[in-house]
Amino acid sequence: MAESDLYLPIKAFMESLGFSVKGEVNGCDLLGVKDGDAPVLVVCEMKLSFNLELLLQGVDRAAACDEVWLSARLSKTGKGREHDSRYRNLCRRLGFGLLGVAPNGQVEVIVAPSAPMPRRDPKRRSRLLDEHRRRMGDPNKGGGSRQPIMTAYRQDCIACAKALLDGPSTPKQLKTLVGRAPAILSRNVYGWFVREARGIYGLTELGRKAVA
């Protein structure tokens, strides 16, 4: 079992709580957002077992969200950290929730998150929320850090490139499709775009191959 195998069961659990869930958002395995007058952001980090590294990840994420959940597969022997009262009590003190995933995919709430933690990093929180809202669909499985991540920015670049398959265009024209098209064409992060004339952009061969 890989960490990414935990993603779909935990995503289903979070969606049952009313969250819109996406994987691998700005380094977070799973980000859930519940819209409202004040959106609620939940981060869930995943490991194959409950360990110190998982706790440290939770501490790092806590400043940017409203709730932190830590999740791992349940131990087969019944002797895992999820059964260690010291580990559970530490999570309670930190306000973290604990989720265990059984071999059949069933999710067990071991510790529920406690009172909301203070927001110490509003800029980081804002970046998480912006990426979640901009990203189309859920193209990444959380926990798959070794795989290339499909970000909202890359999705917008692909949309611009596909539009240019029909022929050169202006940033203003593309902006009707992708709001940040002018900046995308100017920065040309992936080397997909070429300025063919003043205010006219087309595709490089690399760009054509990327969206072929």
The parent domain of residue 168 ranges over 152-211
| Burial class, 51, CB count within 10 angstroms (exposed 0-12 / middle 13-18 / buried 19+) | middle
Exposed (0-12), middle (13-18) or buried (19+): which is 104, by Cβ within 10 Å?
exposed
Q: Which residues, including other chains, have CB under 8 Å from residue 134's CB and lie 6 or more apart?
A: 152, 153, 155, 156
Tell me which of 102, 134, 166 is where a domain ends. Answer: 134
Residue 193 within any structural domain of the chain: yes
**What average pLDDT does this structure show over 78-99?**
90
pLDDT for position 159: 96
97-142 per-position pLDDT tens digit: 999 999 999 999 999 998 666 667 889 999 999 999 999 999 998 9
Residue 50 sits in the same domain as residue 11: yes
| Assigned domain for 102 exists | yes
What is residue 119's predicted lDDT score, i.e. its pLDDT?
A: 63
Q: Are both 93 and 122 inside the same structural domain?
A: yes
Q: What is the mean pLDDT of residues 137-156?
A: 87
Whichever domain contains 90, its CATH number is 3.40.1350
Does 190 lie in the same domain as 90? Answer: no
Size (the chain), residues: 212
Q: What is the percent of the chain where pLDDT is above 90? A: 81
Is-contact 4 10, C-beta < 8 A?
Answer: no
Average pLDDT over all residues of the chain? 92
Q: Which pLDDT value is given to residue 37?
A: 82
Measured in degrees and rounded to the nearest 5, phi and psi for residue 21 equal -115, 135
Cα distance between residue 171 and residue 156, in whole Å: 13
pLDDT tens digits for range 6-40: 999 999 999 999 999 999 999 999 999 999 888 99
- The answer to whether residue 67 is domain-embedded is yes
- Over the stretch 35-51, which tens digit does the pLDDT of each residue have? 988 899 999 999 999 99
Q: Number of structural domains, the chain? A: 2
pLDDT at 136: 93
Residue 175 phi/psi, 5° resolution? -65, -25
170 in the same domain as 110: no
Predicted confidence (pLDDT) at residue 184 exceeds the cutoff of 90: yes
| Token pair of 118 as six digits | 């203070």
Nearest to 153 by CA among 133, 170, 168, 169: 133
Structure tokens at 105: 């995919």
